[in-house]
Amino acid sequence: MAFRFQGIDVTVGTGFLLLVALLVVQASSADQPLLWGLTYAAIAFVSILVHEFGHALLAKFWGLRVYGIEVGFLGGVTRHDVTTPRRQLGISLAGPAAGLSLSLAFLLLAIVMPEGWAQVASAVGWQLNLFWSLFNLLPILPMDGGRALASALQLTVGPAMAVAVAGAVGAVLGALGAVGMYLIGAYIGAAFLMFVAYQNARAFSSVWNESRT
């Protein structure tokens, strides 16, 4: 599925449809499982779009070409022209900033809404966006925090060294996070963070090996 909004192409992959199916299954214990499953999916979809448009609109504001937004199982990806480290730093942080703004909007709705479906949905919305925005700010590649760290480092060191340092930080934090997730029984989260830690370690190792040749 694909559509265009604010001059930006948005593609919804099969991974997101799988996420919708999982959310419907997860809501099977609710009184109206289909309603709540689709509600969770709609909140997730809007949240991903707001986050990614935070990246995309700032990139467009700075005159960069935005090639599109892809929505998948683990969130979204915004593709745009390569830019300066300073601007990339701002673009990386714009997504979480948009998510935190949406979290605040959902929180205000949850406060003013009467008890019922809309209040619960708003509560889910503000909690989801708060968690996802803060999680994305962790300095672990390829999340926004990791990209922001790499961009900030490029202001003082070269691109290769910036990736190496960001990769080392991401590998350590990802591994620690994976252990913490495992200890509390969040095995899927542990597996995800371990995979991310491995990818960060590979990024560090690649730059390290090239510097020694």
Task: Sketch the domain layout of the chain as residue ranges.
Answer: 1-137, 139-213
**Confidence (pLDDT) at 17:** 85
| pLDDT for the residue numbered 92 | 96
pLDDT computed for residue 211 by the predictor? 59
The three-state secondary structure class of 113 is coil
Check: pTM over 0.85? Answer yes or no. yes
> Which residues of the chain are modeled with pLDDT < 70?
27-30, 33, 211-213
DSSP readout, 47-86?
HHHHHHHHHHHHHHHTTPPEEEEEEETTEEEEEE----HH
Nearest Cα to Cα of residue 79 among 91, 89, 87: 91
Q: Which of 44, 48, 6 is nearest to 27 (CA)?
A: 44
First CA to last CA across the chain, in angstroms?
Answer: 46
pLDDT (tens digit, 9 = 90+) per residue, 158-194? 888 898 899 999 999 999 999 999 999 888 788 888 9
Q: What is the pLDDT of residues 179-189, one digit of tens each?
A: 999 999 888 78
Q: Using an 8 Å Cβ cutoff, are 144 and 156 in contact? A: no
> Using CA atoms, how far apart are residues 197 and 168, in angstroms rounded to an integer?
9
- In this predicted structure, what is the pLDDT of residue 23? 76
Nearest to 159 by CA among 81, 106, 212, 211: 211
- The pLDDT of residue 27 is 67
Residue with token string 């990614």: 52
